[in-house]
A = this chain, B = another copy of it.
Amino acid sequence: MVAEIISIGDELLIGQVINTNASWMATQLNLIGIDVVQITVISDNKEAIKTSIDNAFKRADIIMMTGGLGPTNDDITKICLCEYFDSKLVFDESTYLRIEKLFAQRGFDVTALNRQQAEVPDKCKVIPNNNGTASGMWFEKNGKILISMPGVPFEMKTMVTNYIILQLKILNKVVIFHKTIHIQGIGESFLADLIKDWENQLPNNIKLAYLPQPGLIRLRLSAKGKTTDKLDVQVFTEIEKLRKIIPDLIFGYDDDTLEEVVGKLLTTKNMTVSTAESCTGGYLSHLITTIPGSSAYYKGSIIAYSNEVKMQILGVSDETLEKHGAVSNQTVKEMAVGVRNLLKTDYAIAVSGIAGPDGGSDEKPVGTIWIAVADKNGVVAEKFLHGEDRTRNIRKAALSALMLLRKVILQEC
């Protein structure tokens, strides 16, 4: 089975909104083995909607359509679909009750305009929307499927996850098992080189995808097969082989993030951490505190953006700064030890580097980052050389710092 996506909305055509809905849906379809052959973005225009459906049905079995289902006059998708599927609008009691409940929660009465939202084409199966007034609609005609959903990402995603994907999975009959592996601390081409023999020996039914992000690489293994195949066992066997090649670079799987993984490690061990940041300027603390409940293990940070703060608050000696500079093995070590003593935590991370664009030299070019982790046993430091882009350097330095903390914690286990 192949699918097409039709996104309806002027906000997409004037560039005001980026079409993240389409990529999200494409990803979900791919995960169940359905390829997307075209994505089309059009305006709320009858002619455009009908032509797009006609053309898409020439190529695809399934059309996933979003947008144009609001209660105002410019939302015409429902009327177009009635005409296209030779259907008429009927009042749907259960949809009305859902809308009424939604309004009651917010303390409003249902207006006449919103009452219309309970009218649905008689030839569709209604997909309930628990987060908004517009229902989803599932049409079938000549063995093809058209699914229409609201364009509000949260409403659309809930429908796709809780209903549509489950239905399409049954119809598509391909069984597919995915596992995403999260890697930090190596560039894409170096990783590719390191694991090429492993990649080449993968069974034919397992596909590998590289999904790089700044400072991180995700590898996705997708195994296709029949219901009787043990796809999960097959994938886990391959992951075990990979772990032997790059044991230190894998930090998590699927929805894991590095900040979450480190947070869980600290929680499990009932340990605390503090940070001292120079070039990352608060981004490391920000990453750690994006996790709800991080206050249980994170005590705080000294952002020492000037040398005075490094000396007066963190207790870095003026001799160290003078002899080795702020971006050095010695300075980050003193920063880490300093903040650990000051905030009385089990672990402490310190970062000092040159994020750029200015401040680089031949000896210490832009992208030079020193990271230290202190604990009760002492302090270790590592040097990293990232690129020229300030934003990426800050992100990569913070990720490298979390990765080093993870390593230190695990070595103690």
Report whether B14 and A41 are in contact in the complex, using a CB–CB cutoff of 8 Å: no
**Chain copies in complex:** 2
**Is A18 engaged at the interface, CB distance under 8 Å to the other chain?**
yes
**Is A200 engaged at the interface, CB distance under 8 Å to the other chain?**
no
CB proximity of A319 to chain B, nearest CB, Å: 21
Report whether A305 and B298 are in contact in the complex, using a CB–CB cutoff of 8 Å: yes
Tally of contact residues, A, Cβ under 8 A: 67
Report whether B288 and A299 are in contact in the complex, using a CB–CB cutoff of 8 Å: no
Provide the residues of chain B in CB contact with A394, threshold 8 Å. Answer: 286, 289-290
Cα separation A120 to B192 with both chains bound (whole Å): 32
Contacts A282-B301, A286-B281, A292-B358: A308 and B344 contacting too (C-beta < 8 A)? yes
Provide the residues of chain B in CB contact with A303, threshold 8 Å. Answer: 275, 282, 285, 289, 300-303
| Residue from B15, B26, B306 within 8 A of A26 (CB atoms) | B15
Contacts A303-B282, A303-B301, A305-B299: A20 and B22 contacting too (C-beta < 8 A)? no
| Residue from B30, B41, B356 within 8 A of A15 (CB atoms) | B30
Report whether B19 and A358 are in contact in the complex, using a CB–CB cutoff of 8 Å: no
Provide the residues of chain B in CB contact with A43, threshold 8 Å. Answer: 37-38
Cα separation A275 to B303 with both chains bound (whole Å): 9
Report whether A292 and B38 are in contact in the complex, using a CB–CB cutoff of 8 Å: no
Cα separation A14 to B3 with both chains bound (whole Å): 11
Provide the residues of chain B in CB contact with A35, threshold 8 Å. Answer: 13-14
Cα separation A109 to B310 with both chains bound (whole Å): 47
Provide the residues of chain B in CB contact with A306, threshold 8 Å. Answer: 295, 299-300
Cα separation A38 to B39 with both chains bound (whole Å): 10
Cα separation A285 to B309 with both chains bound (whole Å): 14
Report whether A302 and B299 are in contact in the complex, using a CB–CB cutoff of 8 Å: no
> CB within 8 Å of B: which of A183-234?
209, 211
CB proximity of A308 to chain B, nearest CB, Å: 7
Interface string of A1-27 (1 = CB under 8 A from B): 000000000001111111110111111
CB proximity of A270 to chain B, nearest CB, Å: 15
Cα separation A311 to B303 with both chains bound (whole Å): 17
Cα separation A42 to B2 with both chains bound (whole Å): 13
Report whether B55 and A41 are in contact in the complex, using a CB–CB cutoff of 8 Å: no
**Is A283 engaged at the interface, CB distance under 8 Å to the other chain?**
yes
> CB within 8 Å of B: which of A279-326?
280-286, 288-290, 292-295, 298-306, 308-309, 313
Provide the residues of chain B in CB contact with A26, threshold 8 Å. Answer: 12-15
Report whether B292 and A286 are in contact in the complex, using a CB–CB cutoff of 8 Å: no
Interface string of A334-374 (1 = CB under 8 A from B): 00000000111000000000001110000000000000000
**Is A89 engaged at the interface, CB distance under 8 Å to the other chain?**
no
Provide the residues of chain B in CB contact with A391, threshold 8 Å. Answer: 290
Report whether A16 and B357 are in contact in the complex, using a CB–CB cutoff of 8 Å: no
Interface string of A119-160 (1 = CB under 8 A from B): 000000000000000000000000000000000000000000
Provide the residues of chain B in CB contact with A18, threshold 8 Å. Answer: 18-20, 23
CB proximity of A117 to chain B, nearest CB, Å: 20
**Is A257 engaged at the interface, CB distance under 8 Å to the other chain?**
no
Provide the residues of chain B in CB contact with A281, threshold 8 Å. Answer: 285-286, 288-290, 294, 298
Provide the residues of chain B in CB contact with A53, threshold 8 Å. Answer: none
**Is A390 engaged at the interface, CB distance under 8 Å to the other chain?**
yes
Task: Given contact pairs A282-B301, A308-B343, enumerate 4 new A-B contacts (beta carbons under 8 Å).
Answer: A16-B23, A285-B285, A292-B390, A300-B302
Chain A interface (Cβ within 8 Å of chain B)? Answer: 12-20, 22-28, 30, 35-43, 48, 55, 209, 211, 275, 277, 280-286, 288-290, 292-295, 298-306, 308-309, 313, 342-344, 356-358, 390-391, 394
8 contacts between A and B (CB under 8 A): A13-B26, A14-B26, A15-B22, A281-B286, A299-B305, A300-B304, A300-B309, A300-B313
